[in-house]
Structure 1
Amino acid sequence: MWDKMRKPAAGVLLTATMLLAACGSTGNNADNGQEAANGNAGAENASQGAIDPMGKYETPVEIKFARPSSQNWKYPDGDSLDDNIWSREYSDKLGIKVVTDWTAEEGETYDQKMNVAIASGNLPDMFVVNATQLQQLANAGELADLAGVFDQYGSELTKKLVNSDGGLGLQSATFDGKLLALPGVSANLYNPSLLWIRTDWLKKLNLPEPKTMQDVFAISDAFVNQDPDGDGKKNTIGLGLTKDLYTGGIGLISGFANGYHAYPWIWVKNADGTVQYGSTKPEMKAALGKLQELYKNGQIDKEFGVKDGAKIGESIASNKLGIMYGENWMPYFPIIDGKKQNPGMEWKPYALPSIDDQPAKGGVAFATTTYFAVNKNFKHPEAIVKLLNMQQEKMYQAPVDPNSPFNIVQDGDTRIETYKYAVVSSTLGNDMIADSITKLKDALEKDDPEITKGMLAETDKFEPIRAFNKDRNMDYWPQARQFDAFQQLLNMYNNDGLVTSVLAGQTKTMGENWAALVKLEKETFTKIIMGAAPIDEFDKFVDTWNALGGKEITQEVTDMVNK
């Protein structure tokens, strides 16, 4: 939960299968269908006294739950998916017995099984879905309205944290005024690409730090033509790219494109209110044209089209690469390996520079990908809110303990991630992440660890960064450089510097055609950059993309956004 490297768990929202989805067999109480559907079944009458968000049921409540899991999950001795620190706490403190109705391997396997369950109408009491499945179940009228029970039973902490994304997750789970699931909130503040540059090379060549895209072009040219590694050979690379273009977090073209106000790989709303796939907008053509020019001038690795992030790491370690776009965790991988082999190497993250006088903004996926829903026939819809209250309290009640047994357990050399066992979970939205980074910055500037007690995230960063700042302990170099990235991301967030995808899932036609459209896009863009196709091939790509289902998908996305 407090992972050092903040990666998007499943890549970009549009094409990744959702992290969590579930379905299962019956376990319903049809006699209570209407009562449950209005969001008040099993709830205490508020007029009879204050409701305890963590109150224990006098008569235990059994919940048949469909959820994802993984064969790679580890458990302390004697524990299992159905009997663990979380399930025991649910039973002891809430009077809730969670029974796994069925489970499947998280990811695509899980999604497929959920799709079968939706088609058959065979749903357990509670289950986990992705955005597309939520839309289907909402249309079918299969879900309980949780608006009332969330308002009544949601703890102060839960309501604060679930709304820490600006309410976007709750909004995405609301249909015709009904809250049909609890969103698994997360933060996309972590995810924009940043510009990473070898600052020791800047100093050696007496170059200024970049403020504009024109500065980036000049620096890239110098890194290729002015022998920054000092070996007397023209063998260095200006801008590092990978064959994946957008995914993997390393060597991305998305950050470069953002400098042209292009937002590939996400769906954006135009000024006139229409919805468009960012990769098909005219600004993307301009960005590709410049990348083609840089490639022609030898500033991009001639073989980038077959290289992945690991190959970028090799270029860094061999002292040959000077610039790349990537995420905040780059110091942990791949930069640290190069730093160990070349101690004088220094990298610094910069905010995205712009091609013109308009500030560049980072494009990010919609943050919520997971939803927790209740069968409309289940008697106790409020139980799902209690389960979430417990998870929020155990994980995020300040002061946060990253070594809590509800988070991780160390068994010898094995790190067991016990937080995964929680059946209902939500992390922190952008507001809370921004607050924690701000507190971390303040604590470091004032050298005051007491300030960190109010942090809900990045609680493990203060001591390592403090140690690095005091004695330059290289063991903590990655944390210090990642903190530099955090400050850039915080500044972007505080200054309206993010463009978030308006789509929180996939459409029907996406499920059928998206893989082919992605293949078309990556192949065309790679050919354009490498000069194997002229820049006007972009226009043909857009026409073909629309003809192969893109036009229909755009209409479907528009309908979803305007639901």
Structure 2
Amino acid sequence: MKKWLSVLLTLSFAVTIAACSGNNNGNNSAAPSNNAGSNGGATATADAGGEEGFVNGKYTTPITLTTVWGLNENGSVFKEGESIEDNVHTRLIKERLGIELKYNWVVTNTNDAYKTKLRLMLSSGEDMPDVVAYRGDLETVNMLIDSGQFMPVGELVDQYANETYKQGLEHDPAIWLPITRDGEKMALPILDYAYNGDHVMWIRQDWLEKLGLQAPKTIGELEAVMDAFVNKDPDGNGTADTIGLATGFKNGFNNWMTDIGFVFGAFGTMPGQWNLNAEGKLEHGSVNPAAKDALAKLKEWMEKGYISQDAALFDEVAGSELFTKGEAGIMFGPNWLPAWPFPDLKTNVPGASFKAYPVPAGNDGKIGSAGGNPPSNGYLFINKDAEHPEAVLHYYNWFFENTANPQPGSEFANGFAEGYDYALLEDGTLTADIAKYPELFPGLKDKTAPPLFYSLTYEGARIPTLYADTHVKLAGGAQPETPYEKQEFNTRTKENIDAMKVVVDQKDIRMKNYYMGPLTETMQSKNELLNKLLNETYSKIVYGQQPLDSFDTMVDNWMKSGGEQITQEVNEWYEKAQ
């Protein structure tokens, strides 16, 4: 979804703003700047006295970094005559840093071709390149670590990372948990925006107003609103065809969108993850006794028609269509849903409106929501035999210093490269509307080519707190000042901006998943069986196919079938990882 959101942001860059003030969303750049101090990204590590040949921000003798790459939809747009191996990004990095990127192989990442090729290399013991970027499943991350071909990066970070990157890493120490082995940090986290996956409650505002209702603050009030949405014809078509909550739990009961984890949070647990209990130990939220109360509530909602009878068949995207087709009035998910998929609601139901509200509390005051994952979205693995391992950090530092939060009038305030991700109009404003101004994007056909998508870090560099801080500022009515703020102001909807403030105001309700390590020994043999046991029992209880007390039987079986041993292994890992 973050990939798709990046595409949407690129498209929305067509909104024009004054060039004198610039425009940037942290995903742009064209020629580098030496005024790094203006954005808090002081040049990394004093140049190490030139002992590695890196002086004044550049290798005096150019060096080569080898890598591999998978071309995704948003990173596969090139000007005529250019490619991932030779483009404005690779040329600029060589010119400014003295680093030449060499791609040992490149695949079009259809059907996970990049992951497949990486895993084949790992399985056959082939030598890996100097740096491997990976964004995806933890199983492949573990394979990369367990291959023994990549070095610990802790000392590299201490010596070479600039302050902006270090501060981002400190935002949440749990960022290191998935890639820590025996106390060693085995890859560089690729930072992302904080709180971007946290949930709010989205409600059809036009339905609330039509029925004279207020947004619910508790589960009890939520039930009253859902009852009205089901039984008082909020869409005005004279037919009983509406439901309260858009959800789909085909993939579980704690999802990134159309989530119902908040129901469990209202009783004090979160399913599908490892929670920290009052004794400081990790426990699986799905077997906590509080989950039984949440299932009883969901069963009641199913019986009353508040949620779809087909919810167990729907994944997150299918569940969201209940909202975007105008059938459901409430949906839980991230702040950025107004960018996708909510525009479909505007198309399907002209005049529909929606608004974000805080996650409701349980009737006894308990409140909890899924989310709270560390602000990272991928990793950079550095080969232990790389001649210049520090070059990876020099590369990443450069993006923090130049493109993550460019200052007004700076070199990258407008974007990465004119004619690629932006163009200047005669009146001095910016545009990315290639359909309207094709002559300003020579060598491109129907899409702009944002060069930051070519970067080894997928989007250049992102400062974790910048997105939320900017939206809170804008939601409060302040005028945008920096290029980044103006980009967000001109490309985001008010609903999106206001939703991020709701997230930040309620950030303490987030219930973190505290286990992000490799599959334990027992997980490898028992996970499939145990997950099937959990999900089938949950669904059958919600649908009334099994009595509520079958939850207790399921927990006993879960423990006896490997869950108890996994719990012990998870806690052993947690004690070492802290």
TM-score for the superposition, normalised by structure 2 = 0.76
SS in 1 for 2:332: strand
Give 2:64's aligned residue. Answer: 62
* 2:32 corresponds to: none
Q: Deviations over 1:251-307 (max 9, x none)?
A: 322233333332123222222122122222222221111010111122222233334
| Percent of residue pairs identical | 28
For the 8 Å contact 1:195–1:326, the answer to whether it is kept is yes
Residues 157-209 of structure 1: CA deviation (Å, up to 9, x unaligned): 3334444x334435655556644321112235121232222233323333332
Say whether residues 1:211 and 2:217 are aligned partners: yes
Structure 2 CA distance, aligned partners of 1:6 and 1:246? 27
- Among 251, 272, 283, the alignment partner of 2:279 is 272
Say yes or no: does 1:94 pair with 2:97: yes
Structure 2 counterpart of 1:349, one-letter code? A
Are 1:181 and 2:181 an aligned pair?
A: no
Q: Is the 8 A contact 1:63 1:125 kept in 2?
A: yes
Alpha-carbon contact 2:192-2:464 (below 8 Å) kept: yes
| Per-residue deviation, 1:93 | 1.5
Letter aligned with residue 321 of structure 1? A
Residue in structure 2 matched with residue 421 of structure 1 by the alignment? 454
Instruction: Provide the residue aligned with 1:75 in structure 2.
Output: 78
Q: Secondary structure at 1:433's aligned position in 2?
A: helix
Decide whether the 8 Å contact of 2:421 with 2:448 is kept in 1.
yes
What is the letter of the counterpart of residue 93 of structure 1? Answer: R
Match of 1:468 in 2: none
Displacement, 1:99? 1.6
Which amino acid is the alignment partner of residue 537 of structure 2? Answer: T
8 Å Cα contact 1:248/1:309 also seen in 2: yes
Give CA-to-partner distance per residue, 1:92-118, whole Å, 9 cap, x none. Answer: 122222222345565855445444544
- From 547, 550, 553, the equivalent of 1:534 is 547
Partners of 2:244 and 2:330 within 8 A in 1: yes
Stretches of structure 2 that go unaligned for 5 or more consecutive residues are 8-44, 423-433, 435-443
5+ residue gaps, structure 1: 8-42, 466-478
Alpha-carbon separation, structure 2, partners of 1:45 and 1:332? 42
Question: Is residue 512 of structure 2 the alignment partner of residue 500 of structure 1?
Answer: yes
* Structure 1 residue 128 corresponds to structure 2 residue 161: no
Whole-Å Cα distance in 1 between the matches of residues 526 and 563 of structure 2? 8
Q: 1:487 aligns with which of 496, 501, 508?
A: 501
Aligned-partner Cα distance in 2 for 1:304–1:59: 60
Counterparts of 2:4 and 2:470, CA distance in 1: 15
- 1:219-368 alignment, distance < 5 Å: 219-244=225-250, 245-246=252-253, 249-308=256-315, 312=319, 315-316=322-323, 319-364=326-371, 365-368=373-376
Distance apart, 1:491 and its partner CA: 0.9
The letter for the 1-side match of 2:499 is A
Q: Using the alignment, how far apart are the partners of 2:61 and 2:321 within structure 1?
A: 61
Within a 5 Å distance, the mapping from 1:180-199 to structure 2 comes to 180-199=186-205
- Asked if structure 1 preserves the Cα contact closer than 8 Å seen for 2:253 and 2:259, the reply is yes
SS at match of 1:220: helix
Q: Which residue of 2 aligns with 1:382?
A: 390
> What TM-score does the superposition give when structure 1 sets the normalisation length?
0.77
Distance 1:6 1:506 in 2: 29
Deviation string, structure 1 residues 385-443 (Cα, Å, up to 9, x no partner): 1111123234304237474339847534224343232124564354333222233234x
Tell me what 1:20 maps to.
none
Q: Which amino acid aligns with 1:74?
A: V
Q: Kindly indicate whether the alpha-carbon contact (under 8 Å) linking 1:74 and 1:416 is maintained by their aligned counterparts in 2.
A: yes
In 2, distance between residues paired with 1:194 and 1:548?
36
**Aligned CA distance change for structure 1 residues 6 and 238 (closer, same or farther; 3 Å):** farther
Measured in 1, the distance between the counterparts of 2:180 and 2:529 equals 31
Distance in 2 between residues matched to 1:307 and 1:379, nearest whole Å: 49
Residues of 1 paired with 2:4 and 2:56: CA distance? 31
> Are residue 525 (structure 1) and residue 538 (structure 2) matched?
yes
**What is the aligned counterpart of 1:436 among 470, 483, 504?**
470
Q: Is the 8 A contact 1:6 1:328 kept in 2?
A: no
Question: How many angstroms apart in 1 are the aligned matches of 2:563 and 2:461?
Answer: 33
Label 1:350 to 1:521 Cα distance change in 2 as closer, same or farther (>3 A).
same
Which stretch of structure 1 is more off in the superposition, 267-276 or 285-294? Answer: 267-276
Local SS of the residue matching 1:370? strand
Amino acid at match of 1:383: A
Q: 1:44 to 1:377 in 2, by over 3 A?
A: farther
Q: Per-residue displacement from partner, 1:195-224 (whole Å, max 9, x unpaired)?
A: 222233323333332111110011112222
Paired with 2:530 and 2:84, the residues of 1 have a C-alpha distance of 38
Shift of 1:546: 4.1
Greater displacement, 106-115 / 348-357: 106-115
SS in 2 for 1:500: coil
Aligned runs of 1:116-155 on 2, under 5 Å? 116-118=120-122, 120=125, 122-128=127-133, 142-155=149-162
Shift of 1:507: 0.9
Structure 1 residue identity aligned to 2:468: A
Query: What is the SS of the residue equivalent to 1:77?
Result: coil
Correspondence 1:371 to 2:370: no
- 1:558 deviates by 2.8
Q: 1:102 to 1:279 in 2, by over 3 A?
A: farther
CA RMSD between the two structures: 3.7
Alignment match, 1:12 = none
Match of 2:573 in 1: 560
User: How much does 1:480 deviate?
Assistant: 1.8
Say whether the 8 Å CA contact 2:262–2:367 is kept in structure 1.
Answer: no
CA distance in 1, matches of 2:260, 2:284: 16
* Distance (whole Å) between structure 1 residues aligned to residue 471 and residue 543 of structure 2: 40
Secondary structure of the 2:59 match is coil
CA distance in 2: counterparts of 1:108 and 1:560, whole angstroms: 30
Residue of 467, 474, 480 corresponding to 1:449: 480
Q: Does structure 1 retain, via aligned residues, the 8 Å contact 2:122–2:147?
A: no
Note if contact 1:169-1:185 (Cα within 8 Å) is conserved in structure 2. Answer: no
Which is further off, 94-103 or 330-339?
330-339
Distance in 2, Cα, partners of 1:558 & 1:414: 49
Query: Which whole-Å CA distance do the structure 2 matches of 1:488 and 1:51 have between them?
Result: 48
Aligned CA distance change for structure 1 residues 69 and 454 (closer, same or farther; 3 Å): closer
Distance 1:272 1:105, change over 3 A: farther
Amino acid at match of 2:129: P
Q: Which moved more, 1:204-213 or 1:379-388?
A: 204-213
Q: Residues 548 and 492 from structure 1, CA distance in 2 versus in 1: closer, same or farther, beyond 3 angstroms?
A: same
Measured in 1, the distance between the counterparts of 2:204 and 2:213 equals 11
